[in-house]
């Protein structure tokens, strides 16, 4: 595979279709999955084998937990998924199968699917407030989106532990509305289930005109959060 194809950004639909049958999901420019192992020693073994087959730097990140491994693939050089990430997903799924385990993205006993969390901050002057959040969180520029000419400028945790932060331009102050909200990006085929569960838990669907890109929901006191997917964002 040549250098050009290594860094060829896949379209959202192409990316999703390429890995869904492997038990991975495309979410926010990444492929995500998890492997339920039931024990930390087995989780460590799976992680070691996955690292061995994903021998290209700048692609695989893992979170090893007591009973599972959460895996993410992205080509760091372009901050997006590429054909190389698809191939690595296939290799990792195959090696996971050698343990008689599976890569999966759907709801399990924990009650939720793989997801990514972002924090959105409404601002009148993004350039003025952004340095504060960068400093207080110890964050850095989001790859590929640094610089004032590319607002809203995202900030990310350099060690990948915390959620990303992005800034939404406001045209006028909105003192009666919360100014910080969560964006919960879920697999496209899990969104309606998550929305239904949120409404059943006392939430209200506030806005769905741009679904399936995102739905805005509010808690009983009006604090808002968004359920988002990759769909509806092209064209």
Domain ranges of the chain: 3-97, 116-228
- Give the least confident one: 46-50, 100-104, 149-153, 179-183: 149-153
Average pLDDT, the chain: 88
| CATH code for the structural domain at 116-228 | 3.10.180.10
pLDDT score of 230: 96
Q: Does residue 1 carry a pLDDT above 70?
A: no
Per-residue pLDDT tens over the stretch 22-32: 999 999 999 99
Helix (H, G, I), strand (E, B) or coil at 100: coil
Per-residue pLDDT tens over the stretch 114-147: 999 999 988 888 888 888 889 888 899 887 654 4
Per-residue tokens: 140: 């850095």
What is the CATH class of 3-97? Answer: alpha beta
Q: Report the alpha-carbon distance of residue 15 to residue 27 in Å, rounded.
A: 10
Per-residue pLDDT tens over the stretch 49-108: 999 999 888 999 999 999 999 999 999 989 899 999 999 999 999 999 999 999 998 765
Question: CB-based contacts of 56: which residues, under 8 Å, 6+ apart?
Answer: 84, 88
Q: Tell me 80's DSSP state.
A: B
User: Across the strands, what pairs with 32?
Assistant: 25, 72
pLDDT score of 192: 94
3-state helix, strand, coil in the chain (%, to 5): 30, 25, 45
Q: Tell me 171's DSSP state.
A: S
Per-residue pLDDT tens over the stretch 29-43: 999 999 999 999 999
pLDDT score of 176: 67
What mean pLDDT comes out for the span 174-181?
76
Residue 158 or 112, more confident: 158
Q: Does residue 111 carry a pLDDT above 80?
A: no
pLDDT score of 211: 97
- Give the least confident one: 143-147, 191-195, 206-210: 143-147
Cis peptide bond prior to 113, omega within 30° of 0: no
**CB burial of residue 27 (10 Å; 0-12, 13-18, 19+):** buried
Examine domains 3-97 and 116-228 and report if their fold is the same: no
Residue 168 or 95, more confident: 95
């Amino acid at each position: 595979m040549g250098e050009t194809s290594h860094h060829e950004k896949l379209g959202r639909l192409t990316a999703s279709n390429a890995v869904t049958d492997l038990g991975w999901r495309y979410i926010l420019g990444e492929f995500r999955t998890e492997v339920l192992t039931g024990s930390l020693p087995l989780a460590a073994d799976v992680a070691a084998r996955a690292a061995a087959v994903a021998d290209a730097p700048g692609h695989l990140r893992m979170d090893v937990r007591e009973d599972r491994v959460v895996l993410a693939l992205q080509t760091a050089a372009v901050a997006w998924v590429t054909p190389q990430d698809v191939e690595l997903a296939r290799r990792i799924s195959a090696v996971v199968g050698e343990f008689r385990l599976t890569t999966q993205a759907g709801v399990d006993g924990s009650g939720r699917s793989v997801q990514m969390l972002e924090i959105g901050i409404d601002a009148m002057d993004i350039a003025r407030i952004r340095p504060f959040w960068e400093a207080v969180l110890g964050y850095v520029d989001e790859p590929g989106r640094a610089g004032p000419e590319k607002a809203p400028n995202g900030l990310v945790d350099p060690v990948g532990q915390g959620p990303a932060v992005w800034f939404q331009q406001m045209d006028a102050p909105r003192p009666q509305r919360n100014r910080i909200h969560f964006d919960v990006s879920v697999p496209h085929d899990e969104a309606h289930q998550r929305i239904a569960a949120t409404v059943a838990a006392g939430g209200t669907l506030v806005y769905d005109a741009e679904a399936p890109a995102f739905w805005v929901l509010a808690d009983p006191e009006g604090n808002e959060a968004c359920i988002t997917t990759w769909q509806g964002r092209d064209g």
